[in-house]
């Protein structure tokens, strides 16, 4: 289908109601894998974090990671779910080279957590905040697959590749899959709600400290299911499943795009194909993946190699006591503590910056300064590179270091931007970047004095105005000095020196 034939979103939602479903996979941050003792660290050399169990060697057997069960229960509780008193793992059978056993050990009809909800807040069409309740169908435990790298061919997919490389380091990493019930909201809000839900899940996972929840590294992955039905109808349409959308912004764009694509098909009297789709970051479109049908048969059956998991109710209650503050309560508390306006707070949340700002403030930065950097300078850079803020290679502690240099008068706001450049480019700490790039503000009176003298000499008219008492004219001379010093002059000291000479 060509771009031209898409129906604009606003037109589409006049005729159709979108029905959403979100499946989010969360990679747990346990030290070891779901069913063996292999480490889970990200980024190790291929096939160095494997053993007979996660390679599926003949004879090897799984053993459930108790820490993963604990994380699953805490996630379930945080999602307001009921926790199963007894549940089993199940085998999901299908063949794929990056799946060592050719079945995935997952949960089927007995998830560890079920029937929960989360409330998310988005900006309504009238600009007022709207709270939407997302019902959670289930959260279940499973293992991740390995990774395939398809070499050659044009698409990077297995079809048409010359050969494929397999890395089993990820095979067996514990995952929690969180599945919503169908979500039906005011049509115009659907993309925002999807985004806000995923952002809130991420916030929750970080608060629970159960996952790195990095969408760019795949430790939090969202599949967006979407179908349209004619406005007011109760019959569900055919859905598409857009897989592994890897940023909040992309979640929103994927919903938006699929609405326009489905609407175009339906308008033309064509059939929506039930299939998986791939989202393309570059242009915000999706393309067809594998056709799915209800005939897909994974031949689930209870995993005979594992005993059922039966969380002791007393233990579950104990875990309930360890849950962090509910996100909405925390947001309200922080807004009060920081003195943010509703708009400032909503922008902070929308940018997925709440935890980053909080951590920066905890590191000693004034709330407004912390907000200014993350939502200004850094948000712009994230946008430029199409990533989420959290994925930028800079930590709240590093931002705090930059602010500390400003507060000490060693750099100014303008220089700070260059320091961020350096830190983001991996040139080291803020301190190291300042040293290496020679960015420190010059407040040495000798060097500044010479520059001031040259500025006075070059601008006799301005100098005369200052002598005549028009002190605001000093700005022009300060600007000249700053220009000569390539922005590295201490502006306050320059002003003092000018006034000493002309005052």
Q: How far is the CB of 319 from other proteins (least distance, A)?
A: 22
- CA–CA dist 435, 458 (Å, integer): 31
Q: Quick check: 23 and 162 in contact, CB under 8 A?
A: no
How many Cβ atoms from other residues are within 10 Å of residue 446's Cβ? Answer: 8
- Enumerate residues 44-63 that contact other proteins by CB under 8 A: 52, 55-63
E strand or H helix at 229: strand 220-230
**Total number of residues that touch other proteins (CB under 8 A):** 30
Closest distance to other proteins from the beta carbon of 303 (Å): 8
Residue 426 found at the interface with other proteins (CB under 8 A): no
> How far is 158 from 101, CA to CA, in rounded Å?
19
Q: Cα–Cα distance between 388 and 145 in angstroms, integer?
A: 25
C-beta of 58 vs 339, nearer to other proteins: 58
**For other proteins, which is the closer residue by CB, 101 or 195?**
101
Report the site for other proteins in 284-343 (rule: CB under 8 A): 297, 299-301, 304-307
Question: In the stretch 144-173, what mask flags binding to other proteins with x, by CB under 8 A?
Answer: --------------x-----x-x-------
Of 63 and 425, nearer to other proteins (C-beta) is: 63
Which residues on adjacent β-strands are paired with residue 205? none
Beta-carbon contacts of 417 under 8 Å, excluding residues fewer than 6 positions away, are 377
Coil, helix or strand for 218?
Answer: coil
- DSSP structural state of residue 322: T
- Distance between CA atoms of 250 and 150, rounded to whole angstroms? 24
DSSP H or E run through 224: strand 220-230
* Closest CB 101 distance from other proteins, rounded Å: 5
Judged by CB, which is closer to other proteins: 95, or 426? 95
The residue length of the chain stands at 503
- Cα 207 to chain centroid distance, Å, stands at 14
- Which residue's CB is nearer to other proteins, number 296 or number 407? 296
Residue nearer to other proteins on the CB measure, 108 or 114: 108
Candidate residues 19, 34, 64, 75; the one interacting with other proteins per rule CB under 8 A: 64
Considering the complex, what minimum distance in angstroms separates the CB of residue 48 from other proteins? Answer: 15
- What is each CA distance from 307 to 21, 58, 63, 281, in whole angstroms? 31, 20, 9, 42
The residues in 72-101 that bind other proteins, with binding defined as CB under 8 A, are: 91, 93, 95, 97, 100-101
Site pattern 102..141 for other proteins (x: CB under 8 A) = xx--------------------------------------
Q: What is the DSSP letter of 87?
A: B
Residue 85 C-beta: closest distance to other proteins, Å = 19
Q: Identify which of residues 283 and 297 has a Cβ nearer to other proteins in the complex.
A: 297
Task: Check if the beta carbon of residue 172 is closer than 8 Å to that of residue 38.
Answer: yes
Q: Which of residues 37 and 364 has its CB atom nearest to other proteins in the complex?
A: 37
Rounded to the nearest whole angstrom, what is the least distance from the CB of residue 35 to other proteins in the complex?
9
**Distance, CA of 110 to chain centre:** 30
**Interacting residues toward other proteins by CB under 8 A:** 52, 55-64, 91, 93, 95, 97, 100-103, 158, 164, 166, 297, 299-301, 304-307
């Amino acid at each position: 289908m060509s771009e031209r034939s898409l129906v604009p979103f606003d037109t589409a939602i006049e005729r159709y109601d979108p029905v959403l479903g979100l499946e989010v996979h969360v990679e747990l941050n346990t030290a070891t894998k779901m069913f063996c003792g292999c480490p889970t660290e990200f980024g190790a050399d291929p096939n160095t974090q494997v053993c007979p169990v996660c390679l599926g060697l003949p004879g090897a057997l799984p053993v459930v990671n108790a820490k993963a069960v604990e994380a699953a229960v805490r996630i379930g509780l945080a999602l307001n779910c009921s926790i199963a008193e007894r549940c089993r793992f199940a085998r999901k059978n299908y063949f794929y080279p990056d799946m060592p056993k050719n079945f995935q050990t997952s949960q089927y009809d007995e998830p560890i957590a079920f029937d929960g909800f989360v409330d998310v807040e988005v900006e309504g069409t009238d600009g007022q905040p709207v709270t939407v309740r997302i019902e959670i169908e289930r959260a279940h435990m499973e293992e991740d697959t390995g990774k395939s790298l398809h070499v050659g061919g044009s698409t990077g997919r297995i079809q048409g590749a010359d050969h494929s490389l397999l890395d089993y380091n990820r095979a067996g990493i514990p995952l929690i899959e969180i599945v919503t019930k169908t979500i039906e909201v005011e049509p115009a809000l659907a993309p925002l709600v999807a985004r806000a839900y995923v952002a809130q899940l991420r916030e929750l996972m970080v608060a629970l400290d159960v996952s790195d929840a990095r969408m760019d590294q795949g430790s939090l992955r969202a599949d967006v299911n979407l179908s349209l039905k004619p406005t007011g109808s109760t019959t569900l349409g055919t859905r598409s499943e857009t897989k592994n959308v890897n940023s909040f912004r992309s979640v929103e764009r994927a919903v938006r795009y699929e609405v326009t694509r489905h609407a175009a098909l339906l308008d033309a009297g064509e059939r929506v194909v039930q299939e998986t789709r791939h989202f393309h970051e570059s242009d915000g479109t999706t393309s067809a993946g594998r056709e799915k049908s209800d005939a897909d048969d994974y031949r689930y059956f209870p995993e005979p190699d594992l005993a059922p998991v039966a969380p002791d109710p007393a233990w579950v209650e104990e875990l309930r006591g360890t849950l962090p503050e509910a996100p909405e309560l925390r947001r309200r508390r922080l807004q009060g503590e920081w003195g943010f306006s509703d708009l400032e707070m909503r922008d902070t949340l929308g940018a997925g910056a709440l935890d980053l700002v909080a951590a920066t403030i905890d590191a000693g930065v004034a709330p407004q300064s912390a907000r200014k950097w993350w939502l200004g300078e850094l948000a712009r850079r994230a946008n430029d590179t199409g990533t989420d803020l959290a994925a930028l290679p800079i930590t709240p502690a590093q931002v705090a270091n930059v602010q500390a240099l400003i507060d000490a008068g060693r750099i100014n706001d303008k220089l700070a931007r260059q320091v961020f450049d350096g830190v983001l480019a991996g040139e080291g700490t803020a301190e190291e970047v300042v040293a290496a790039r020679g960015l420190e503000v010059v407040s040495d009176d000798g060097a500044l004095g010479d520059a001031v003298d040259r500025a006075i000499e070059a601008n006799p008219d301005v100098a005369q105005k200052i002598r005549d008492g028009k002190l605001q004219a000093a700005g022009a001379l300060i600007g000249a000095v700053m220009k000569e010093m390539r922005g590295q002059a201490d502006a306050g000291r320059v002003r003092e020196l000018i006034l000493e000479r002309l005052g």
